[in-house]
Structure 1
Amino acid sequence: MSVEWKKYVEDPRQVCKYGGKCYQKNPAHHENFKHPPNLSKGKLPRFHPYKKKGQIANDSSQRKDKESVVVPEQHKPKVNEDSLNSNSQTGTENHSHDHVSVLPESITFLDKSMDNNMLKELFLVEMPQNFFKFYETLGDTVSAIEKTLGSVNLEMIGPYDLLAGKLPKLDDKNLYLIHWRFYYDPPEFQAVLKRKGNSEFHIGYFRDSPDEEPVFVASNDSAKDCHITPMSDNLFGAVFNYLQKEKMSSPFVSIACEKLMEKLKKAANDNGYSLEEYNMKKRWAKAVTKTFHGAGIVVPVEKKTQVGYRHLVEKDGKIKEMFTKLQNAKSETEKDSILSELQPVITYANIAVDECDFGTGLELGIDLFCSGLKVLERNTLCSLSSAYSLLNRDAFVKIIETHLKHRRNGPNMSILSW
């Protein structure tokens, strides 16, 4: 941390809510409130996204090109501050917002459909072909499919509810975006299967942009942490991978696992789907950083100028340490001190976004989201909404706004559980 920032953090005065953008000219205001130091942008280090951390690329010739890029005001996103609860609770224990009933008094369901256009209208993303082929492979009827999956401790969720005729009709269409969206599921992750019962283990598609095909199928257990584990290129391979491990867990499911594995193997061969585990080398060839969920992010980076991404000003370990201290804070004073320590990370990331390094804002937003801390939700929304909008990933803006407004934890994320 620079000397200027250290002085700012240790300053006992109250933080001005306008920060570095404060418009106040009154000397009395500046005497009573502290403001972040106005550091020169030219001193910010540029990091090459494909080189090891600490290996700084020479940007003396790039800065001029970079500063000539101006983001039009109309493209800067507007954040709906009313969409977030103002409660400043810091922990994630029993984390849920105050909910009112969002379901109609009389529940009716949408007709069964395998129309991808309807799925995109409801969930804002198209499902890949292997999503439908997997469903067809499991059985001829909904009950047969549910029986097959149940025999290996799995159940269909999310978009599969439309195919099964179990998706309720809702007046507020945004609520489909949180139907089976677990606590640590970022907008990039769409769950389609989960382990039966009270488990929070779920399997879904991960994509970098809402308008692109999924990069891989992954899993997460939100009862444990935010980590997203890539499994395979497609759902056949992901479930095959799951079954290989599940059959070892109990002799009561081993036969059912073997039976389904044979069915999936034949269907995968017939349709040209690989059953191999996902090779992360392909991912790291494109990703600019891992982020706290471990699945990485991919953003456009201009090869010549390296505009598009720079590393956060603090290392991951230091930021995680601040999150832990914030979660364990015993008083408002202690919490404010930690937030002041975190502020330079946010400020420098905002400067990076202003200079068209949109990937930096995305990384910060994902890391804040992965913290699970309620006190950071407003920062999370601001960072992610801005980054997604500037990256033309507008569907993800709607998803994160709705998720943070209704974010809750637990194993049953169906909208019908409200």
Structure 2
Amino acid sequence: MKTKRQKENIPHESSAAKKSKTSKKNDDVNLITQLDNIYLVKHSCVIMDFWNICISIDPKSPTEAFNSLNSLKLVGPFRYLNDFYSKSKENKNNNYLCVDRFSTDLPEMQTFAIYKGGRFCFWRDLPNEEPNLIINISNNSPNFPTFAIAGNGDPLSALTFLARLKKQKFENIFKKIENQSEIMSKWKIYQQKKFLEELRKNRKEITVGEPLHGLGIKVEIVGDCGYRPVTENTKKLRNDLIDFATTKDETHKAKLKQQLLQIYTYVTIANDEMDFGMGLEFGHNLFISNYECFDAMTKSVLEVTYKLLKREVFAKILKEQWENGRRINENKKVI
């Protein structure tokens, strides 16, 4: 009597094949743990799925598997995976935590791909959560860049975003992949307009505030505690920060300094009253202004805020970034 498997003509998987798959899965889990330890934040198994696709496409240079798409190159966690994969000894002393960080990469961000004109970052509101959002940042704005939602936590969604942005088709590259049908199913979903619309809608629903990067902030609101606005006029705050950093009029600069110090005082009061979101929003604004004159205040505001929000890992990443030199690698990373 034939079994159901035999009737449907489903090939039997050998015990050796099963063992190989189990071993590969365990290796991937171990690598995810290594990434968590090196970058101090939680990583998703989707990263390994994507990395295995890259290896299938270009075994010699997996970080450049999608180079035909606007010169895209994988960095960040994929730098470590590539060094591990190639058994590279050259980069064993790499400060992986900071080597691919841009000056406007908040601790919530992790750049994982760069391309001609911009980059993609994983976004985490909490260090112990897997990234469920990918943002795109253009290189055109060194000060106050806008963070555009480009996908969920799957790097494949970022590729879809870039292909659409650059009006470039390159799906044929997946023909070499064993699970091509599964990849193309995802690709079709990510291509749909409603995919990004839904991500933006969900983001708006779970965040508060109007930080100048456009993503909102995520803080716990209990009753009336958790958040209060930095200002009623975000456009004016942005202009004030630019004016302070660029003006040569010392009288005007002194006036602006008093206004900014007043906000700093308000943040301190808000912290005492458990409205920690105000400090997070103000700190984000100072950070992405990317003016060196605000570095000391930025570090002061965000270090305190991250600790109050129990996001100490972000405070540690911030400290590492400052000690390593916030802008030390900027020129060599821009394609």
TM-score range with shorter-chain normalisation?
0.7 to 0.9
| Aligned mate of 1:134, from 41, 50, 56 | 50
Distance 2:213 2:238 in 1: 12
| Aligned mate of 1:117, from 33, 39, 64 | 33
| Code of the aligned partner of 1:295 | L
- 1:280: Cα distance to partner? 0.8
Please list, as runs of the form range in 1=range in 2, the aligned pairs for 1:86-165 lying within 5 A after superposition: 115-140=31-56, 142-152=59-69, 153-165=71-83
Identity, in percent, stands at: 26
Distance 2:299 2:272 in 1: 17
Task: Provide the residue aligned with 2:92 in structure 1.
Answer: 169
Q: 1:412 to 1:142 in 2, by over 3 A?
A: farther
Distance 1:314 1:271 in 2: 41
The CA deviation string for residues 285-320 of structure 1, in whole angstroms up to 9 with x for no partner, is 110123111112100001xx2201111144211211
Task: Provide the residue aligned with 1:97 in structure 2.
Answer: none
Is residue 201 of structure 2 the alignment partner of residue 285 of structure 1? no
Please list, as runs of the form range in 1=range in 2, the aligned pairs for 1:304-319 lying within 5 A after superposition: 305-319=223-237
Task: Provide the residue aligned with 2:5 in structure 1.
Answer: none
Task: Provide the residue aligned with 2:320 in structure 1.
Answer: 402
Larger mean Cα displacement after TM superposition, 145-154 or 357-366:
145-154
Q: 1:382 to 1:274 in 2, by over 3 A?
A: farther
Is residue 107 of structure 2 the alignment partner of residue 191 of structure 1? no
Contact 2:303 / 2:315 at 8 angstroms: preserved in 1? yes
Secondary structure, in 3 states, of the residue corresponding to 1:115? helix
Please list, as runs of the form range in 1=range in 2, the aligned pairs for 1:250-289 lying within 5 A after superposition: 254=169, 257-260=170-173, 266-268=181-183, 274-275=189-190, 276-277=195-196, 279-289=199-209
Secondary structure, in 3 states, of the residue corresponding to 2:114? strand
| Aligned mate of 2:131, from 191, 203, 214 | 214
Distance 1:336 1:245 in 2: 43
Secondary structure, in 3 states, of the residue corresponding to 1:184? coil
Aligned length in residues: 288
- 1:144: Cα distance to partner? 4.9
| Code of the aligned partner of 1:116 | I
- 1:203: Cα distance to partner? 0.8
| Aligned mate of 2:121, from 195, 204, 210 | 204
Distance 1:386 1:274 in 2: 41
The CA deviation string for residues 6-45 of structure 1, in whole angstroms up to 9 with x for no partner, is xxxxxxxxxxxxxxxxxxxxxxxxxxxxxxxxxxxxxxxx
Is residue 141 of structure 2 the alignment partner of residue 232 of structure 1? no
| Code of the aligned partner of 2:219 | V
Contact 2:306 / 2:314 at 8 angstroms: preserved in 1? yes
Higher RCO (C-alpha 8 Å, min separation 6) = 1
Larger mean Cα displacement after TM superposition, 354-363 or 343-352:
343-352
Contact 2:64 / 2:72 at 8 angstroms: preserved in 1? no
Structure 1 or 2: more helix by fraction: 2
Distance 1:273 1:403 in 2: 38
Distance 1:260 1:289 in 2: 41
| Code of the aligned partner of 1:230 | I
Q: 1:321 to 1:288 in 2, by over 3 A?
A: same
| Code of the aligned partner of 2:78 | Y
Q: 1:168 to 1:332 in 2, by over 3 A?
A: farther
Task: Provide the residue aligned with 1:55 in structure 2.
Answer: none
- 1:321: Cα distance to partner? 1.6
Q: 1:258 to 1:229 in 2, by over 3 A?
A: same
| Code of the aligned partner of 1:395 | V
- 1:145: Cα distance to partner? 2.5
Distance 2:296 2:304 in 1: 12
Secondary structure, in 3 states, of the residue corresponding to 1:398? helix
| Code of the aligned partner of 1:117 | T
| Code of the aligned partner of 2:183 | A
| Code of the aligned partner of 2:46 | N
Contact 1:190 / 1:206 at 8 angstroms: preserved in 2? yes
| Code of the aligned partner of 2:82 | A
Secondary structure, in 3 states, of the residue corresponding to 2:126? coil
Contact 1:236 / 1:273 at 8 angstroms: preserved in 2? no
Distance 1:280 1:265 in 2: 28
The CA deviation string for residues 142-180 of structure 1, in whole angstroms up to 9 with x for no partner, is 42534531222211111101111158223xx8x432111
Query: TM-score normalised to the size of structure 2?
Result: 0.78
| Code of the aligned partner of 2:150 | M
Query: TM-score normalised to the size of structure 1?
Result: 0.63
Calculate the aligned-residue CA RMSD, in Å: 2.7
Gaps of 5+ in 2: 1-27
The CA deviation string for residues 105-134 of structure 1, in whole angstroms up to 9 with x for no partner, is xxxxxxx99612211121111221221111
- 1:192: Cα distance to partner? 0.8
- 1:384: Cα distance to partner? 0.6
- 1:392: Cα distance to partner? 1.1
